[in-house]
Amino acid sequence: MKNFVKKLMLVMSVVILTLPIFTSTVQAESTVEAEPEINATAGMIFDEHTGQIVYKKNADEKVAIGSITKIVTLYLVTKAIKEGKFTEQDTLRPTQAQAAMTQKSELTNVKLDADKDYTVKDLYSAAWIVSSNSAAMMLADKVAGSQANFVKLMRSTVSSWGIKGAKLYNVSGLNNSDLDAGMYLGPKNGENKLSANDIGVIVKHVLDEYPEVLKTTSMPKLAFPIDGVVKSFDSLNLLLKGSRDYQEGNEFDGLKTGTTAEAGESFVGTLPLNDTRIVTIVLNAQGEKTDLDKRFRSTQRLVSYLKEHYERKEILKKDQNIQINDKKYKTYEPIYTWLPKNFNIEELRYTVSSGDLGFTAIHNKQTVKLIATNTGNGYLPFKKADVKKVVHEKKTNQKSWWNQIVEFFNHLF
């Protein structure tokens, strides 16, 4: 009995002595798997080129987005310019209501006068860089003839991208209660709402189709003509180089802030990293109202999380064979994916993509899209817009049978 007690005490002593080691091991593992503290209602970080999501929080929840709305608005303006419907040198004049809005400090930061003309280029820059609401409205009127028509265009555009349940009421992102009649659709207190997934899909379309918008969004200052003098305004994106919250190594060059009472403070950011492009989304950052940097700190935490816990790895080489359900596929270029630093590439599993994202491989001389199925948070619900083919009827010079009869008798006399 005494021997048993001694053995039992010896075992307990070993357990007690090794407990701190076990605890520290568990803590180390949990640290690696820890999620970033973004302190926001919803958020996301993804690879813009591939659509791969590294982290997401409440990605399907529709929330107020404020001036992040202008990403959709300015996409459609950019599209209209590229299609030759008007030029950056064309001039526009604000309505009395649009000019009056710029006199309210809580609604604008760039003054517009109802008796002055402004170039499309200046208005476009003002809408991107300092989020001018009236500038966005003027551009929308130019594109669609009215803001109501433009909102309908916004809705049909995001719908064509597979986005369902979007709540879009106006072109600026303000609450409808801040707008005059004719500046919105929907209820008097309606506010634009999208999910992080929706915003991710929108941003991918914008940057895939018009990456040149980054030339504008990367500008730390706006030069805008006011009262005959060109004045300078700081960009609202405080992560740009030279701005207050800039961090060396995180070279943000876009994209858009959003702020209303309901939306809180939100930010969609983008930066080049490791030969690809990263997009961050922070919606309704939490904290004190006087803290004007909380959305940017949350954004920086997302990027730090990516850098600390993930790396962009080459998972497949050029001309490498992949077997899926007894079918062989061959890559025609190296494939890269974000993976946890301790992830074994050999554990990756592949399948044929059900959407438009994934890497291209060849099977029986035909190309298909493949994705890795176990990378973590999957991919954006991305689909390319359906391109409607316009059938043009051929015009002929053939005359109707009646005209031919009339002409016949005319020639008789």
Q: How does DSSP classify residue 208?
A: H
In one-letter notation, the amino acid at residue 75 is Y
Among 210, 265, 259, 200, smallest CA distance to 45 is for 200
- List the one residue out of 168, 146, 141, 170 whose CA is nearest residue 156: 168
Of 201, 314, 221, which Cα lies nearest the Cα of 268?
201
Q: Single out the catalytic residue among 56, 70, 142, 193.
A: 70
SS3 content of the chain, % helix, strand, coil (to 5): 35, 25, 40
Distance CA 399, CA 401 (A): 7
298 belongs to the catalytic site? no
Cβ atoms of 134 and 70 closer than 8 Å: no
256 is in an annotated binding site: yes
Burial class (CB in 10 A: 0-12, 13-18, 19+), 245: middle
Cβ atoms within 10 Å, residue 293: 16
**Annotated catalytic residue, options 56, 57, 125, 131:** 131
- Of 56, 57, 67, 125, which residue is the catalytic one? 67
Among this protein's residues, is 177 annotated catalytic?
A: no
Which helix (H) or strand (E) is 71 found in, with range?
helix 70-82
Q: What are phi and psi of 273, to 5 degrees?
A: -160, 125
Q: Give the Cα separation of 58 and 113 in Å (integer).
A: 42
Residues 276, 340: Cα–Cα separation, whole Å = 17
Give buried/exposed letters for 61-82 (b at 16+ CB in 10 A, else e).
ebbbbbbbbbbbbbbbbbbbbe
The helix (run of H) or strand (run of E) holding residue 91 is strand 91-92
221 classed as catalytic = no
Residues annotated as part of the active site: 67, 70, 131
Q: Write out the binding residues.
A: 256
Q: Write out the binding residues for substrate.
A: 256
